[in-house]
Copies of this chain bind each other. A is one copy, B any other.
C-alpha cells in the first residue's frame, strides 16, 4: 500500500481494527446460533454482544503481543477477547477452525472493497456520460495505427469508454458474487463439530452466500476470478489513459489534463504541461494487472488446504483494491476536468488536405461503375500527392483535375464526398445504443 495512491475509505477496510471487528462479529454471530441450537449457553452469546455494545476499542498491540508467543493469530485474538469478556468467552469458536474466521473475513473485506469499486465505476460512468454528451458532435479525426483515418466525434470516443466501463461494472458485480461466500464448516469442511445451520446463520447476518462445499478454506478459484477481473478493469483504465496521453502530445494537443495554477511541470522547462496523471494511471494499471498471476497461482492449494495463499492475499487484497480504487477516482477526475480543444481538433482534421475523405470517393467511383481495383488506383495516385505535400495540396481539387476521375464523377459529386456531416449521421444511433437514449 503506497499512501500517495490510497484513499481513506478503501484503506480503512484493510486495517487490523477493521479485520478484528469482522472476526468478532463472525464469532459472535456463530456463538448466537450455537446457543440457539443448545450447543453453548445463551449467556455466552449475550456476553459477547454485551461487550460489543460498549463499542470497545480493539487493542491491536495487545493481540500482536499474544501472537508473538502463540504464533497463531486467531488463538491470539480469541485469548484477548476472552480477557475482555470474561469466562463466558470460552464457548466462542466452538467447533470452528481458524480458516472459518479468516476466509469469511476476507470475503467480507473483498465484498466491501467491491462495493467501493462499484461506486467508483458509477461515478466514472456518470462523468464520462456527461462529457460524452457535451462533445457528442465535436468533430475530431479518428485514427487507426496513429494515422488519420476518418472523422469521428470526441463524444464517440467517450461513448466507447462508457460502454467499456459499463461492461467492467457487470463483470465486477459477477466477481463480487463470486467471492462473497461464508464458510463455517470446521477443520476440513465436514461440519463434524459445527452444525451447517451456524454457517447459514452467519452468512445471512453478514450478507454473504453459503459456500456449498469448503475444505477448511473457501476455494481460491473465486479469488482468482476476482483479481483477474480487477486486472481487466485496469486494462480499460490504461486504454483511456493512453488516449489522453496521445491527445496531449505537443503535435496533437486536442485535450489536456487540467493544469492547476500552482503546478510546475518541470524543474527545468517552465512551459511544460505533462500528462502526468494518465502516465501515472498507466503505471498503476501495470501493478493491478501484475497481481493477477499470483492470484491464479493461489488456486492449486494442496489437499484440503495449505497456507501459501495467505501471504499473497496479505499483499494483493489491499494493494489491488486500494490501487484500483485510487486509479478509478483519479481517472474520474481526469475526465471530469479534461481540457478539450475543439478548435485544435478541427485544425488537425483539416491538415491532411482532405485525405480523410478518400474512402467516400473510392466508393463513389465503384458505384459509378469503375472496378474496385481501378478506383483504388485512381484515389491512391491523388492521395499520394496530397500526402507528400504534407497537406498543402487538396485532394478535392486534385480529383477534380484528374480526367480519369472526372470521367466517372462530376465536380459536384466530388464536392459532395467531402462533407463532414456525412460521417456523423449515425452518432445519435450509437449514443442510443450506449446510453439508452
Q: Does A314 count as interface, using CB distance less than 8 angstroms?
A: yes
A379 partner, pick from B267, B270, B356, B384, beta carbons under 8 A: B270
Q: Does A303 count as interface, using CB distance less than 8 angstroms?
A: yes
Which of A112-120, A121-129, A289-297, A399-407 touches B? A289-297
Are A272 and B156 interface neighbours, CB within 8 A? no
Are B228 and A292 interface neighbours, CB within 8 A? yes
Are B352 and A250 interface neighbours, CB within 8 A? yes
A160 partner, pick from B215, B242, B270, beta carbons under 8 A: B215
Instruction: Tell me the A109-157 residues at the B interface (CB within 8 Å).
Output: 141-152, 156-157
**Nearest B-chain residue to A312, judged by Cβ:** B283
Q: A401-437 interface mask toward B, CB cutoff 8 Å, 1 = contact, 0 = none?
A: 0000000000000000000001111110110011000
Main secondary structure of the interface of A (DSSP, over half): helix
Which of A17-25, A51-59, A65-73 touches B? A65-73
Question: A94: which B residues are within 8 A, CB to CB?
Answer: 363, 366
A238 partner, pick from B75, B225, B262, B300, beta carbons under 8 A: B300
Q: Does A221 count as interface, using CB distance less than 8 angstroms?
A: yes
Are A236 and B319 interface neighbours, CB within 8 A? no
Are A236 and B299 interface neighbours, CB within 8 A? yes
Question: A232: which B residues are within 8 A, CB to CB?
Answer: 221, 224-225, 228, 296, 299
Are B144 and A274 interface neighbours, CB within 8 A? yes
Question: A225: which B residues are within 8 A, CB to CB?
Answer: 167, 171, 229, 232
Are A215 and B142 interface neighbours, CB within 8 A? yes
Q: Does A338 count as interface, using CB distance less than 8 angstroms?
A: no
Q: Does A8 count as interface, using CB distance less than 8 angstroms?
A: no
A272 partner, pick from B147, B152, B429, beta carbons under 8 A: B147
Question: A269: which B residues are within 8 A, CB to CB?
Answer: 149-150, 187, 355-356, 358-359
Question: A164: which B residues are within 8 A, CB to CB?
Answer: 219, 221
CA distance A383 to B272 in the complex (A): 9
Are A300 and B221 interface neighbours, CB within 8 A? no
Shortest A421–chain B CB gap in Å is: 10
Question: A157: which B residues are within 8 A, CB to CB?
Answer: 215
CA distance A191 to B193 in the complex (A): 53
Q: A62-84 interface mask toward B, CB cutoff 8 Å, 1 = contact, 0 = none?
A: 00000001111011001000100
**Nearest B-chain residue to A343, judged by Cβ:** B390
Are A251 and B311 interface neighbours, CB within 8 A? no
